[in-house]
Structure 1
Amino acid sequence: MSGTSEGPRPSGVAVPRRVRPLITERYDVGRNSTELCDYRAAFNAAQLAMAVVDREGVVVSANDALALLLGTDRAELQEQYAADLIDLASDARTWHAYREVLHGRRSRFRCTRRLKHPDGRSLWAEVSVTPVPEGGSVLLAVTDINDRRQLQARLRHLQMHDPVTRLPNRTLFFERLSSALESSACAHGSTGRIGLCYLDLDGFKAVNDTLGHRVGDRLLAAVAARLADCAAGGNRTRGGGHLVARLGGDEFAILVEDSTGTEQLADLARSVLAALQEPFDLAGQRLSVSASIGVVERAVAGTSATGLMQAADTTLYWAKEDGKARWTLFDPERNAHRMTRQALSSTLRPAVERGEFELQYQPLVGLADGVTRGVEALVRWNHPQFGTLAPNRFVGIAEDDGSIVQLGRWVLRTACRQARQWQLDHPGVPPLFVSVNVAVRQVWDSDLVADVAGILAETGLPPHLLQLELTESAVMGSAGRPLQALQALSDMGVHIAIDDFGTGYSNLAYLSRLPVSVLKLDGTFVRGFQDEAHANPADETIVEAMVDLAHRLGLTVTAECVETSGQASRLRRIGCDTGQGWLYSRAVSPERIAEMLGAGPRPVHATTSQ
């Protein structure tokens, strides 16, 4: 019997061709013959498979246990090279260690070998080689560890597989993923790419809550079977399926090694969605489920297991955000936007304290005479990494995480202080009112009335010189606390304006019940006036009707996004009160507004700043 070959014999260290020498037993003849007989009897009767090997690696004597283990006769083992019998020359490291013991340069050596029995079965054996004291030979012992290896294999299988679905679990999945990333990068013939479908079931919690965990587990097992079929079917040409794993709960992953591109992953995702859309019959329960899938496909080079899973998790979130029951492919640009959003969100609150925000002001100009009546305060974020950011880059984030209350309070205080300073510095001209945008969350999450009252008292700005702008969707349908707050502010003398009017609910009946004094027409209506040669009479009719209604209710109207003199003329003819836009000025610094005030109340008919 010979060991199974695990590779070529180490170069330059081949086992020499055996010439049958005359073997003589090399025992000390001076020893007590009775003691020697006892040793030999113990050696031959031992259950442990053993052999005495000379310094050339030739078997001098072997016991019955070794013969039985190797499936041969004891006599056949003598004069054989031990390295051939138990495959010690199959790799250089093992061969070198074995020779070191034979030559007396190492005290012991141990290794594990997989041997092939003459009857065709394989067995695992632990081999140890130890020098015989005061002798010129070594003792070779071979232990059958098949049962131990099988037990270890069973324990590993239990450790690495999910008991409900019998799929590989999270531990085995990441082990396989890490191995794939390491091997695919340098393997000859590999595509050098890897793909992942990461999915969870939509509404699985409802199944557990209503039908119980037993039905939920049956559903997970049935889903696992369909996923395995999809993975095997999509890889028939490569002689096997992709790895399907349950990562926990209702989360599954399909790993595609040697991916051929995004189309392969897209086809796999489509097949999974189609398979899961078919109803499940589970012990009398007929269930229908759907799944959301995040799909990632990329080059192995430069990819880590953590990075791949983060991308997959993000893409799965997009699939759910986009409506569920769908697959979504990872988009680097969308991810960059998400990363930027996260970076901004994490630094927004400290940025207020660090003074990274500033206000610019855009004039609100009377359309009849071109005189600046007020300014709108527009916040900018001077971000140390991303540069100057407009409100649309961060206000939504601030509203989501609640920091809009802190930021809004800072904007309100800064704008009121600046408006009061202009009033004090230019007593000879009519004072400008300042218009400040207020998010609906500021009404709900803070005492806006108290904030405004406190800031007006602190800065000394008269209430009638402050205008608060809320979006149409924020004020339409207001009741309870928001309506009470708006009414209290109006009673205080503060003006309330509805921003972007005409784009939200457009429920005009509310205008008679809200304490509103100004309507700001959304720029989409004004842009319809740009093409004077082919003017749309419907646009002018709509705007004229809204202006007329506002005036009948005692409200003034401001038109946003006025960019041409033609637009200004038509709005003036319709009866619109004030205009705001690049025709007059972009948002400028407080110093530029001060220069305008210092020049006196002159009409503004063209852009004053670029």
Structure 2
Amino acid sequence: MITAADYEQLFAHAPCGYLITDEKWLITAANATFLAWTGYTSDDVVGTFLARMMPMGDRLLHTTRSVPQMQLTGTVSEVSLEIVDASGKPRAALLTATRSVNHDGGVEHRVIIFSAHERRRYELELVSARRRAEESEARSVRAEAGLQHLALHDSLTSLPNRAGLALILERGLTGRAPGASIAVLFVDLDHFKSVNDSLGHNAGDELLTVVAQRLSSTLSSAGTVARLAGDEFVVVEHVGSATDATVLAERLLEMVNRPLEIEGLEVVCSASIGIALADDESSEPEKLLRWADIAMYRAKARGRNTWEVHDPSEVDPAVNRMRLLGELRHGIEGGQLRVHYQPRMTIATSVISGVEALVRWEHPTRGLLQPAEFIDLAEESGLIRELGAWVLDAAVQQGAQWSRLGDGNAPVSIAVNLSARQLADPQLACMVQASLTRYGFDPSLLTLEITETALMENPVMARKVLTTLKALGVGLAIDDFGTGYASLTYLKEFPIDELKIDRSFVSGLGTSDGDCAIVSSCIQLAHAVGIRAVAEGVETDYQRSTLLTMGCDLAQGFHYSRPLAPELLEDWITAQPPSVASGRAAGPGPAHAEPDDDVEMLAAV
């Protein structure tokens, strides 16, 4: 609590001159600041009329209307005057006063007098404080504007981001005239990942910046280009009809297709565009974006570098994919997956050398689904690990059952295809070992197949994983060879037993000189590093004979047999000519190698 003594200290040592007078302006008290400034003592001042300390006497108070002002309002504000100091020298000052009632009921004036220097300092401090406040407010406004810009714009291209686009769409849809239409075009660059992978992320950023500028230059002043993420852009434009939107899409494609130079290389880019139109019945921003996105994926499915207009009556494929994903998860848990087996043959003798196992899904309402209808979905969602683990376990169990039969009509060796996600799973080796132990299956009868593309994503990691798997005693194979750009160095470093030539090259035998050269080179490369060469997708006798001439070891495809259920496979083996059946029992290996008792079964995921 502030005491009377505290108030006395404040009065005595205030930074400005402080006087107390009675109603007739007779000075009753003066503080130390006033006395030091004027040179007077307290005895000189107390009992003296304030007007006598002014060159013009009490006329000043009356001519400045101070007395009438005090009588009317009880205050006097900033009256300019002069105070005569003890040496007789006038000093410029500023007077401010208030009238109050003291403790005994009398009226007194509390007078504050600023010296000229103090007044100037006071004014400067006011100006400085005002300037600081204004600057602080301006900084706050700029900072707030900067934060708002960051929140609503993409840092790379300075285009509106998803949040900024939502505001723009909301305003545009709300403020448009009845019957007016707004087109939302979802623009996704084609094969953008290849630019990042081959030239680096800086080159990718440069490409995105150029595309952003080109898209923006194509629009009217009312149009907007936004960048959602990665290589995804959204264009919003007022149009008169659907035809106007498609014409705009053509112009956008033309701009994107123009060559540009990045790091000394000419790059030609393309895009897939999905179009959604807002009318009086469809004006929700999120719905329009989703529709445009759906149409964009249809454009990609048509071959890319084109556009598609969304038809609201069509079923949303994204919803279908989510539904199918849930059904697949339940299908794995509910035992709806099946494994069918396709024989593989030794080309030189037409003797069976194993089978490839292909996963199928026995859908409760759609029937037996091929891998193409659900494998990509499993890969994208991460469910491929669970699905792949099921296939591995089912194949090992089936192989163990065939091994226990011990007759000449059942294959015993197994090879299981691993996905890229499984290859990156640190528990992969433990999972393989667990399946082998669970069913008592000899690891030398198991071959694991990995696609060349999966190996090339991270060769160093792949080599470590393959080495760990090889230590378990299993065989290893590279699948889809020719599509992942594996070098001879990697083939020599990987502990691989078999190389499978991709079916896309085999199908070109007899029609494409290039494919013939590729297949021949793959066979020679496999033999050069001492492993088997296997041709996939053999469908004609001409392809078989050509592969035989090239020295390929094994082949599989419809030319020999379609995939079969386990019991049908056994029947198929029984129906083969005696030389084939007996040859299978003998278990011949590659045409260029010594006979091998192992018969391989590939479980492709």
> Is structure 2 residue 381 aligned with structure 1 residue 394?
no
Distance 2:253 2:552 in 1: 58
Distance 2:459 2:225 in 1: 51
Q: Does structure 2 conserve the Cα–Cα contact (< 8 Å) formed by 1:362 and 1:580?
A: yes
Pick closer, same or farther for the CA change 1:346–1:595 going to 2, 3 Å.
same
Pick closer, same or farther for the CA change 1:169–1:498 going to 2, 3 Å.
closer
Distance 1:253 1:349 in 2: 37
Please report how far the alpha carbon of residue 467 of structure 1 lies from its aligned counterpart in structure 2 after TM superposition: 1.6
Secondary structure of the structure 2 residue equivalent to 1:427: coil
What is the aligned counterpart of 2:247 among 266, 269, 273? Answer: 266
Pick closer, same or farther for the CA change 1:331–1:359 going to 2, 3 Å.
farther
Q: Does structure 2 conserve the Cα–Cα contact (< 8 Å) formed by 1:365 and 1:604?
A: no
Please report how far the alpha carbon of residue 248 of structure 1 lies from its aligned counterpart in structure 2 after TM superposition: 11
Distance 1:502 1:530 in 2: 18
Q: Does structure 2 conserve the Cα–Cα contact (< 8 Å) formed by 1:269 and 1:295?
A: no
Paired AA for residue 263 in structure 1: D
Distance 2:529 2:436 in 1: 28
Q: Does structure 2 conserve the Cα–Cα contact (< 8 Å) formed by 1:269 and 1:293?
A: no
1:550-600 Cα offsets, whole Å, 9 max, x none, are: 224221111111111222122223221111000111111112112134457
Q: Does structure 2 conserve the Cα–Cα contact (< 8 Å) formed by 1:415 and 1:436?
A: yes
1:99-137 Cα offsets, whole Å, 9 max, x none, are: xxxxxxxxxxxxxxxxxxxxxxxxxxxxxxxxxxxxxxx
Provide the residue aligned with 1:230 in structure 2.
Answer: 221
Paired AA for residue 495 in structure 1: G
What is the aligned counterpart of 1:555 among 531, 538, 550? Answer: 531
What is the aligned counterpart of 2:183 among 190, 196, 209? Answer: 196
Distance 2:442 2:373 in 1: 32
Pick closer, same or farther for the CA change 1:264–1:510 going to 2, 3 Å.
closer
Pick closer, same or farther for the CA change 1:174–1:498 going to 2, 3 Å.
same
Instruction: Point out where structure 1 has 5 or more consecutive residues left out of the alignment.
Output: 1-161, 185-192, 203-221, 232-241, 278-291, 606-610
What is the aligned counterpart of 2:550 among 574, 587, 592? Answer: 574
Provide the residue aligned with 1:418 in structure 2.
Answer: 398
Pick closer, same or farther for the CA change 1:246–1:405 going to 2, 3 Å.
closer
Q: Does structure 2 conserve the Cα–Cα contact (< 8 Å) formed by 1:197 and 1:312?
A: yes
Please report how far the alpha carbon of residue 601 of structure 1 lies from its aligned counterpart in structure 2 after TM superposition: 7.5
Pick closer, same or farther for the CA change 1:332–1:414 going to 2, 3 Å.
farther
| Residues 445-524 of structure 1 aligned to structure 2 (within 5 Å) | 445-476=425-456, 479-524=459-504
Provide the residue aligned with 1:543 in structure 2.
Answer: 519
Pick closer, same or farther for the CA change 1:491–1:393 going to 2, 3 Å.
same
Please report how far the alpha carbon of residue 376 of structure 1 lies from its aligned counterpart in structure 2 after TM superposition: 1.1
Paired AA for residue 577 in structure 1: D
> Is structure 2 residue 526 aligned with structure 1 residue 526?
no
Provide the residue aligned with 1:296 in structure 2.
Answer: 275
Paired AA for residue 267 in structure 1: L
Q: Does structure 2 conserve the Cα–Cα contact (< 8 Å) formed by 1:422 and 1:594?
A: no
> Is structure 2 residue 324 aligned with structure 1 residue 348?
no
Please report how far the alpha carbon of residue 502 of structure 1 lies from its aligned counterpart in structure 2 after TM superposition: 1.8
Please report how far the alpha carbon of residue 422 of structure 1 lies from its aligned counterpart in structure 2 after TM superposition: 2.2
Pick closer, same or farther for the CA change 1:194–1:569 going to 2, 3 Å.
same
Pick closer, same or farther for the CA change 1:247–1:546 going to 2, 3 Å.
closer
Paired AA for residue 416 in structure 2: V
Deviates more, 1:550-559 or 1:306-315: 306-315
1:305-346 Cα offsets, whole Å, 9 max, x none, are: 364343135568999999x9x995545699855554444334
Please report how far the alpha carbon of residue 384 of structure 1 lies from its aligned counterpart in structure 2 after TM superposition: 4.2
Paired AA for residue 296 in structure 1: I
Q: Does structure 1 conserve the Cα–Cα contact (< 8 Å) formed by 2:245 and 2:275?
A: no
What is the aligned counterpart of 1:586 among 558, 562, 565? Answer: 562
Point out the structure with max Rg over C-alpha.
2
Q: Does structure 1 conserve the Cα–Cα contact (< 8 Å) formed by 2:173 and 2:182?
A: no
Pick closer, same or farther for the CA change 1:262–1:343 going to 2, 3 Å.
farther
Identity %: 32
Q: Does structure 1 conserve the Cα–Cα contact (< 8 Å) formed by 2:249 and 2:273?
A: no
Q: Does structure 1 conserve the Cα–Cα contact (< 8 Å) formed by 2:470 and 2:495?
A: yes
Please report how far the alpha carbon of residue 519 of structure 1 lies from its aligned counterpart in structure 2 after TM superposition: 0.7
Distance 1:176 1:546 in 2: 58
Paired AA for residue 275 in structure 2: V
Please report how far the alpha carbon of residue 501 of structure 1 lies from its aligned counterpart in structure 2 after TM superposition: 1.2
Paired AA for residue 472 in structure 1: E
Distance 1:248 1:475 in 2: 32
Paired AA for residue 553 in structure 2: D
Pick closer, same or farther for the CA change 1:478–1:197 going to 2, 3 Å.
closer
Provide the residue aligned with 1:383 in structure 2.
Answer: 363
Provide the residue aligned with 1:61 in structure 2.
Answer: none
| Residues 96-245 of structure 1 aligned to structure 2 (within 5 Å) | 174=170, 177=173, 184=179, 194-197=181-184, 230-231=221-222
Paired AA for residue 340 in structure 2: Q
Please report how far the alpha carbon of residue 471 of structure 1 lies from its aligned counterpart in structure 2 after TM superposition: 0.9
Deviates more, 1:515-524 or 1:482-491: 482-491
1:16-66 Cα offsets, whole Å, 9 max, x none, are: xxxxxxxxxxxxxxxxxxxxxxxxxxxxxxxxxxxxxxxxxxxxxxxxxxx
Pick closer, same or farther for the CA change 1:174–1:411 going to 2, 3 Å.
same
TM-score scaled to structure 1, two decimals? 0.52
Please report how far the alpha carbon of residue 370 of structure 1 lies from its aligned counterpart in structure 2 after TM superposition: 1.7
Distance 1:387 1:414 in 2: 21
Secondary structure of the structure 2 residue equivalent to 1:445: coil
Paired AA for residue 397 in structure 1: L
Distance 2:233 2:456 in 1: 42
Instruction: Point out where structure 2 has 5 or more consecutive residues left out of the alignment.
Output: 1-147, 154-159, 190-212, 259-270, 582-605
Q: Does structure 2 conserve the Cα–Cα contact (< 8 Å) formed by 1:518 and 1:556?
A: yes
Provide the residue aligned with 2:351 in structure 1.
Answer: 371
Pick closer, same or farther for the CA change 1:179–1:356 going to 2, 3 Å.
farther
What is the aligned counterpart of 1:436 among 397, 400, 416? Answer: 416
Distance 1:175 1:434 in 2: 62
Secondary structure of the structure 2 residue equivalent to 1:230: coil
Distance 1:478 1:441 in 2: 12
Pick closer, same or farther for the CA change 1:337–1:557 going to 2, 3 Å.
farther
Pick closer, same or farther for the CA change 1:444–1:228 going to 2, 3 Å.
closer
Distance 1:293 1:520 in 2: 34
Please report how far the alpha carbon of residue 177 of structure 1 lies from its aligned counterpart in structure 2 after TM superposition: 4.0
Q: Does structure 2 conserve the Cα–Cα contact (< 8 Å) formed by 1:370 and 1:603?
A: no
Secondary structure of the structure 1 residue equivalent to 2:471: helix
Paired AA for residue 439 in structure 1: S
Q: Does structure 2 conserve the Cα–Cα contact (< 8 Å) formed by 1:371 and 1:604?
A: yes
Please report how far the alpha carbon of residue 494 of structure 1 lies from its aligned counterpart in structure 2 after TM superposition: 1.3
Q: Does structure 2 conserve the Cα–Cα contact (< 8 Å) formed by 1:170 and 1:248?
A: no
Pick closer, same or farther for the CA change 1:375–1:229 going to 2, 3 Å.
closer
Distance 2:480 2:351 in 1: 23
